[in-house]
Amino acid sequence: MPIPTKAAKRMDPAQPQRLPPPTYLQSFLASCILIFTSVVSLPFTLVLTLIALVWTAISSIGLRPSYPAWPNRKTVLVTGARSNKALTLIRALKRAGHRVIAAEEEEWGVLAPARFSRAVDKYYLLPDAPHNFEEDGKSSNAYIDAIKALVQSERVDAWIPCSSVQATMQDAEAARQIVEGRLGDRRKGAVCDVFIQHPDLAGTLHWKDRFLDLLTELGYPTPEGRRVTNIAQALDFLYSPDHAGHRYILKCLTLDDLARDDFTLLPLPTRDATLNHLHKMPTPMSTHTPFLLQQFLRGPEYCCHVAARKGKVTAFVACRSNEMLMRYVDVTTLTAEEANMGRRMEQWVQEFLKRWKAKLDAEGGIESYERELTGHFSFDFIWDERDETLYALECNVRAHTAICLFSTDTPVLANSYLNTVNPPLSRPPPQSAPVSWITHALPLATFRFLLRLPPINLIPPRTWGTLHPGLVPLASKPRRHTPYDPTASPTWSDTPISVLAKFTVGTFLPSWIVTAFRGAVTQTKHLHVEENLVHGVGGGFGFGEKDAYWSWTDPVPFLIEAHVTFANGWKASDTELLLPTHCEQEEGMSPLCRVEHMDFYGGHYHGANTSTTTIQELGRNFYN
């Protein structure tokens, strides 16, 4: 079942052209501009936050429902509290009546928005998870020990990790030690319910090469590829006669931020160019830092949030994806073809868990924690348009940011995590609004709008690049006949006014006003008006845009995220930005090369105890 696209011409994907990295002066100026923008908008967001606080106090509408009768009320620990997905889960758990403990690593947790949430009963700073963790089944460290101590001291009934990729395997090891040590609420004589797989299972999913091996064992097709540890191996593979005519992406198999954002398609036009590119990689290949050369597949990409208990899916949503996803849309709200693709992915996930459970049962006999498929299974997929095949590319043992599409107003999402017997299947509500971040979309739309005003638009984009490389894509002309991209935030046609209108409808207006407005419009008897304003056709608002942080009953995290968190993170910058060589290419543009919302935020964040982290990673940590 192919997904229709406008890629009528089969062109070779454009190779990303690497722009020079911004200087420290350029980064300083960019930081000043963004901080100035934050200061200018502070009166508006502060007034909005105060209105929300007063309104919830007067109306007695808040995050604290009547608590479930004992012993249904649980104490739940959520780690990785800096992330948006953690805040969503925290709010859902609190609305369901549970006691919520939030925790985050000290490096990121001091000003994490969730720390200021009404939904959090207690907040803890954890020691930073080290990057050199040894997965030997015996290792422990201050991070793991702190989680175990927290489970005991707070008598935690359930732990849901939402931590970073660096902490994934350490979370799995902490969970193993909690289960084997029978830690939890001693008053109830219960062991803490850990919502993450055993380290052996988590590692099989977490490491790309082991995951692909598992797919092969279970009978699933995988993209052609090879694990390489040096340049000679890579060149032999790329220039083998068997691989002529194919293009490959080089993926780092370790947790290296510098190697994660290079999507150059290999081989390059000449062997010397390929060799030169491999020599200049910021992270050299070695036995300790292996890479995977994986065949490039042309087609739409998808991501999904999956929660499962004992091999049964308890929460599912799928979204279109790209390399820097900043807008989440449930595929069931798009076209009929996309909705069918969502059902195909859900069936794929269910079948995958069924096959893997059967394999584990056959190998291990009686059911035990070592073989229990409970936790997150957040898959990335691509639909190969050439052979009309759905490929799974990787699986993250973490909650996915797409969880922001779920409703936190009912206990269904919380129950899908906490009910150990017959948990409900949770999905986003029908026709849920897309989720993005106004603090990301509005500044970019404003900069782009200003750069396209006459006579400013007469200045070539490369000239703007002398002020800051991030201005080049913002000043570039949009491609003609650009197809609709549900992941773009903002879109090429968005202006500051349209962005504000979308978020006003989908986020800041109370739902009863929006419902009344739509009802009035549908009575106008003018179909084009109804289509534009109610369903969002053309330039209409439809269901608007939902900000992932804003909540009328819990507004302070939004204020913190908008004005404190990122201002604290801006220190310096020397990262490289990518720009396609053909900004006005109409068709055949590789999704890996598109610049729909290239960040003006071209910077690095210098952590206190770790190596330099790109500002894109900063975005992943707080937006995602």
**Cβ contacts of residue 502 below 8 Å, gap of 6+?**
541, 544, 545
User: How far apart (Å, rounded) are the C-alpha atoms in residues 185 and 547?
Assistant: 36
Give the model's pLDDT for residue 617: 39
User: How far apart (Å, rounded) are the C-alpha atoms in residues 251 and 344?
Assistant: 26
- 194 and 210 in contact (C-beta within 8 Å)? no
The string of pLDDT tens digits covering residues 62-105 is: 666 655 655 689 999 999 999 999 999 999 999 999 999 999 99
How many H-runs (helices) and E-runs (strands) does the chain carry? 21, 20
Q: What percent of the chain has pLDDT over 70?
A: 77
User: How far apart (Å, rounded) are the C-alpha atoms in residues 101 and 419?
Assistant: 18
The string of pLDDT tens digits covering residues 115-147 is: 999 999 999 999 999 887 876 556 789 999 999
Residue 586's Cβ-side half-sphere holds a number of Cα atoms within 13 Å equal to: 5
Place of tokens 């509005």: 442
The segments of the chain whose pLDDT lies below 70 read 1-19, 60-71, 135-138, 186, 189, 256-261, 365-367, 479-481, 511-512, 514-543, 565-624
**Cβ contacts of residue 484 below 8 Å, gap of 6+?**
none
Q: Which of 356, 366, 600, 584 is nearest to 470 (CA)?
A: 600
- 565 and 34 in contact (C-beta within 8 Å)? no
Give the model's pLDDT for residue 166: 87
User: How far apart (Å, rounded) are the C-alpha atoms in residues 362 and 352?
Assistant: 15
Q: If you ran DSSP here, which 8-state letter would residue 562 be given?
A: I
Give the model's pLDDT for residue 589: 26
The string of pLDDT tens digits covering residues 13-54 is: 445 455 677 888 888 888 888 888 888 999 999 999 999 999
Rg, Å, the chain Cα set: 24
What is the pLDDT of the chain when averaged over all its residues? 82
The DSSP secondary structure of 143-208, one letter per residue, reads HHHHHHHHHHHTT-SEEEE---GGGHHHHHHHHHHHHHTT-S-TTTT---EE-S--HHHHHHHHSH
- 273 and 217 in contact (C-beta within 8 Å)? no
Give the model's pLDDT for residue 194: 97
Joined together, the tokens standing for residue 563 give 């004005």
Joined together, the tokens standing for residue 256 give 């290296």
The string of pLDDT tens digits covering residues 484-521 is: 889 999 988 889 999 998 999 889 887 667 666 656 65
Give the model's pLDDT for residue 573: 33
Q: H or E segment at 89?
A: helix 84-95
Alpha helices in 478-510 (DSSP H): 496-503
pTM for the model: 0.85
User: How far apart (Å, rounded) are the C-alpha atoms in residues 16 and 603?
Assistant: 19
**Cβ contacts of residue 481 below 8 Å, gap of 6+?**
6, 586
Give the number of residues written for the chain: 624
